[in-house]
């Protein structure tokens, strides 16, 4: 098989448009192969994926879907803003609960406003660093569920369902970055809301500060409070409290002269230890999302059908070519594949039945398309080879009206090295009407299967 150029990934907008159009066409039966958009795409330069993207942009339904994709992506932005505002509201409510009785308990305020977000950030980092995992966070997961649900609700037509399903797939396959950004924006909003309400309260009201602890003594807590003061001093304009101010805070409450210092320490620690890391992470994931590119799964039936006409031509039909059939099974160069864990798939090999009706010949397997020439055969090999999970078997429909040749045998053997091949002989009526000897023709196919180390064919008379 000749080498081909690697298929380029697509931007999220192009990927969603292609996926939504594929789902819409598969729901209606199969993609149109003789429409103006497809014919125009075949005349453009580029790889198969690039031609699929061009076809989606030019297709009548694709243009309608493009508007829906634009609204969905805009909805992602609005949902990020709403999550940030929701976090800000919750943070402000949590900060408001710290201001009762005119005394701010710094220990409890830091535990509530900073400890919880920091603990969840640590858990997120563990999940993110775990092999083959991508942390999203609950707010990020809620984002994709909301966007996909809204796309289906506000457009109950096939377009809305196709967009919603494509968005759900995008959330699972490529949405980790934007989902992580949503999670960090939520917590950034939480901390920003808490800081904003505390700052407003400290400007307009007078508060004393204390460090309450029942189990830990002054000697144990003094280094902790001193360390927090040194962290806060990294913020411009903030000075770390001295030992006398720390002892006064731990014994009872801060004197009036230290109120401003402790207010600054609390705000600076929340900003440096909580808000700043979340803002940096959110910005990083938003930039990564903008640069993200996704690959199409070309083993999908819709893309397999399109590949037959859109793939750049590299030659015509294979004809009666291929290696000489081996005299014994031991001479086979490619070993047989073991059954995979995925569902059975089906393909057709140079059938006489109309393309639209070929899938009806094999109701017990997922139809991928017909291998009518060299290009289609290569496309199907690539599609089945990249399919995950690997199929349990590949049902190959072969016409009893055709004589098997070495080219067909070599291709079946190559396919059998990817997933076990089950040959099923069909179109017996056409062969009978033509006066062919069905038993002799079945024997020809059985001999070919034996020559290439394949299972004996099944007859569907």
Q: Which residue has the tokens 């009806």?
A: 360
Phi, psi of 395 (to 5 degrees): -85, 120
Tens-digit pLDDT profile for residues 379-424: 888 889 888 888 999 999 998 888 888 888 888 988 999 999 999 9
Give the CA dihedral 134, 140, 146, 151, nearest 10 degrees.
Answer: -60
List the beta strands (DSSP E) in 278-362.
Answer: 345-349
Spatial CB neighbours of 68, under 8 Å, sequence gap ≥ 6: 20, 151, 155, 159, 160, 163
- C-alpha of 290 from chain center: 15
The Cα–Cα gap between 449 and 422 comes to: 10
Q: 120, 187 in Cβ contact below 8 A?
A: yes
Q: Which runs of consecutive H residues, i.e. helices, occur in 348-437?
A: 355-358, 374-385, 406-416, 428-433
Write out the CATH class of domain 320-461. Answer: alpha beta
Tens-digit pLDDT profile for residues 8-23: 788 888 888 888 888 8
Domain ranges of the chain: 62-290, 320-461
Tens-digit pLDDT profile for residues 116-159: 899 988 888 887 776 554 545 556 556 656 555 555 554 545 57
Tens-digit pLDDT profile for residues 189-213: 999 999 999 999 888 888 888 886 6
Structure tokens at 10: 């697509």
Tell me, what's the pLDDT at 217? 55
Q: 84, 189 in Cβ contact below 8 A?
A: yes
Tell me, what's the pLDDT at 146? 59
Radius of gyration of the CA atoms of the chain, in A: 33
The Cα–Cα gap between 35 and 221 comes to: 76
pLDDT along the chain (461 residues), means of 10: 58 86 80 81 83 88 84 80 92 89 83 89 79 53 58 56 76 74 92 94 84 64 78 82 78 76 88 93 89 82 80 50 43 77 91 84 88 84 87 92 84 91 90 84 88 88 70
The Cα–Cα gap between 264 and 266 comes to: 5
Q: 127, 133 in Cβ contact below 8 A?
A: yes
- Does the reported pTM lie above 0.85? no
The Cα–Cα gap between 370 and 372 comes to: 6
Element (H, E) at 34: none
Give CA separation, 363 vs 77, 366, 389, in Å: 43, 8, 20
The Cα–Cα gap between 241 and 243 comes to: 7
Q: State the Cα angle at 304 between 419 and 374, rounded to 5°.
A: 75
Q: 65, 25 in Cβ contact below 8 A?
A: no
The Cα–Cα gap between 243 and 130 comes to: 42
Spatial CB neighbours of 161, under 8 Å, sequence gap ≥ 6: 23, 27, 152
The Cα–Cα gap between 171 and 166 comes to: 9
Residue 291, number of CB atoms within 10 A of its CB: 9
Tell me, what's the pLDDT at 147? 57
What single DSSP character describes residue 258?
G
**Which residue, 265, 236, 251, 214, is CA-closest to 110?**
265
Q: 369, 301 in Cβ contact below 8 A?
A: yes
Q: How many CA atoms lie within 13 A of 212 on its CB side?
A: 9
Tell me, what's the pLDDT at 136? 52
Q: Strands 208-210 and 103-105, how do they pair?
A: parallel
Give CA separation, 192 vs 207, 251, 259, in Å: 20, 30, 22
Q: How far apart are the first and last CA of the chain?
A: 34
Q: 191, 113 in Cβ contact below 8 A?
A: yes
Tell me, what's the pLDDT at 358? 87
Tell me, what's the pLDDT at 255? 78
Q: Is the peptide bond before 389 cis (omega within 30 degrees of 0)?
A: yes
């Amino acid at each position: 098989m000749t080498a081909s150029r690697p298929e380029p990934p697509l931007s999220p907008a192009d990927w969603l448009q292609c996926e939504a159009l594929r789902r819409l066409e598969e729901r209606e039966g199969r993609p149109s192969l003789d429409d103006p958009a497809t014919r125009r795409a075949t005349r453009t330069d580029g790889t198969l994926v690039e031609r699929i993207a061009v076809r989606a942009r030019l297709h009548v339904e694709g243009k309608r879907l493009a508007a829906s994709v634009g609204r969905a992506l805009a909805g992602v932005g609005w949902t990020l803003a709403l999550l940030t505002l929701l976090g800000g509201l919750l943070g402000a409510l949590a900060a408001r609960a710290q201001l009762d009785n005119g005394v701010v308990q710094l220990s409890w305020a830091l535990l509530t406003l900073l400890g919880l977000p920091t603990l969840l950030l640590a858990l997120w980092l563990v999940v993110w660093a775990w092999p083959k995992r991508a942390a999203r966070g609950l707010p990020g997961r809620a984002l994709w569920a909301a966007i996909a649900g809204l796309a289906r609700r506000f457009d109950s037509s096939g377009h809305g369902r196709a967009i919603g399903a494509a968005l759900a797939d995008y959330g699972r396959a490529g949405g980790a970055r934007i989902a992580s950004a949503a999670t960090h924006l939520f917590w950034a909003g939480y901390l920003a809301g808490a800081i904003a309400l505390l700052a407003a309260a400290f400007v307009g009201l007078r508060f004393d500060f204390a460090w309450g602890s029942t189990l830990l003594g002054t000697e144990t807590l003094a280094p902790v409070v001193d360390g927090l003061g040194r962290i806060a001093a990294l913020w411009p304009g903030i000075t770390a409290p001295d030992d006398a101010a720390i002892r006064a805070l731990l014994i009872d409450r801060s004197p009036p002269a230290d109120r401003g210092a402790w207010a600054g320490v609390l705000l600076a620690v929340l900003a440096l230890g909580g808000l700043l890391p979340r803002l940096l992470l959110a910005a990083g994931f938003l930039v990564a999302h903008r640069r993200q590119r996704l690959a199409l799964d070309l083993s999908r039936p819709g893309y397999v059908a399109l590949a037959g006409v859109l793939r750049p031509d590299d030659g015509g039909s294979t004809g009666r070519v291929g290696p000489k059939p081996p005299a014994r099974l031991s001479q086979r160069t490619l070993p047989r594949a073991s059954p995979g864990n995925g569902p059975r798939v089906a393909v057709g090999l140079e059938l006489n039945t109309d393309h639209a009706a070929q899938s009806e010949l094999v109701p017990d397997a997922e139809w991928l398309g017909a291998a009518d020439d060299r290009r289609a055969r290569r496309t199907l090999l690539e599609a089945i080879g990249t399919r995950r999970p690997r199929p349990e078997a590949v049902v190959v429909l072969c016409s009893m009206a055709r004589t098997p040749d070495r080219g067909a045998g070599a291709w079946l053997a190559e396919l059998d090295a990817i997933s076990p091949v089950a040959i099923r002989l069909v179109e017996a009526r056409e062969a009978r009407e033509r006066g062919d000897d069905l038993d002799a023709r079945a024997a020809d196919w059985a001999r070919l299967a034996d020559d290439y180390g394949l299972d004996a064919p099944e007859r569907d008379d």
